[in-house]
Amino acid sequence: MFLHVYRNNLDNKEHLAIVFGPDIRSESLNAPRPGDTEHQRMIRGAYEGRLYPGRTTSKLSRVEQIQQESGVGRNPESHSKAPLVRIHSECYTGETVWSARCDCGEQLEEAARLMSLPQNMATGGVIVYLRQEGRGIGLGEKLKAYNLQDLGNDTVEANLLLRHPADARSYGLATAMLLDLGLGGERGIRLLTNNPDKIRAVEGPNREVVVKERVAMVPLAWQTGGKRGVQGEDVEKYLSTKIMAMGHMLSSR
C-alpha cells in the first residue's frame, strides 16, 4: 500500500490517494525533475519496488528487472480487470470521534478491506481521500448542522438552513488524481459508491475516466442483521435522507 499526497492550485489543502498494489503508479511523481538525484527521487517516493538500507538507485536492480520482464511475482489478472476505486470525502466526526450520525468511517474501512482482498489486490485499488469535510461546508458549519438535526431537521435541510448547498462537494480533483495514476481512458474503474451524481462527476465532462461498474456500499448493519456496523436512530435517518432526498442507489430496508 502506498500513500500519495497531492497539492493543487484550486485550494490550499493536501488531498490523498491511498493506493493498493504495485501496479498503479503516479505519472507526476515519477516524472524527472530538474536537478534530480537518485537520493532525492527515493526520498520523495519516486522509486520502483521497495526501499531498503543501502539502496542507491530509484530504479530496479538488474535481477528485479529480469524478474519483472519475465512476469515473476506478477498476477496475469493485473490489467485484465478494472481496479476498485473509492472517492471518499473527509469526515472527522465519523472517522475519528465515532459519530453515529453517519457511516463514513465504516465506508472508509470497508473500502480498504475490499481492496485488500486477494481477488482485488491482483488489479489494485485506490481510495481518493478528498479534504472536503461536511459535504464541503467545513467542520464548524457541520457541527451547526448537527445542532439543527437535533432540532428536528434532516441532514439536507440543516445545510440549506445554514445557506449552504445540500452537497457542496466537487470531484474534479479526484478525476485529475485518477488520470495521474493511469486510470483514465478505456482501462476504466469499478467505483464503490451509492451516489449517481458522483459517477457522472468523476467520469468528467468528456468521460476522461470510465466507470465500468458501480459497486454498491451496503451498510454493514444491513448486511449482518445488526451484528456489525454503525447502528441507531441517527444513522438510519441519515441513510433514509440519502435515499429519499439525494437519490442514492441503496434499497431502504
CA angle, 253 as apex, 108 and 133 as ends, to 5°? 30
Residue 29 contacts residue 22 (beta carbons within 8 Å) = no
Q: Which grid coordinates are listed for 142? A: 457541520
d(CA 64, CA 68): 6
CB-count burial class (<10 Å; 0-12, 13-18, 19+) for 183: buried
Choose the catalytic residue: 169, 200, 214, 234: 169
Choose the catalytic residue: 41, 167, 180, 190: 167
d(CA 18, CA 86): 10
Q: Indicate the pairing of strand 125-130 with strand 209-215.
A: unpaired
Note if 234 is an active site residue.
Answer: no
Closest CA to 57 of 69, 65, 66, 48: 48
What phi and psi, each to the nearest 5 degrees, are found at residue 159? -60, -45
For 165, how many CA atoms within 13 A lie in the half-sphere containing its CB? 7
Note if 163 is an active site residue.
Answer: no
Output Rg (C-alpha) for the chain, integer angstroms.
20
Greatest pairwise CA separation for the chain in angstroms: 66
Q: Which residues are catalytic?
A: 167, 169
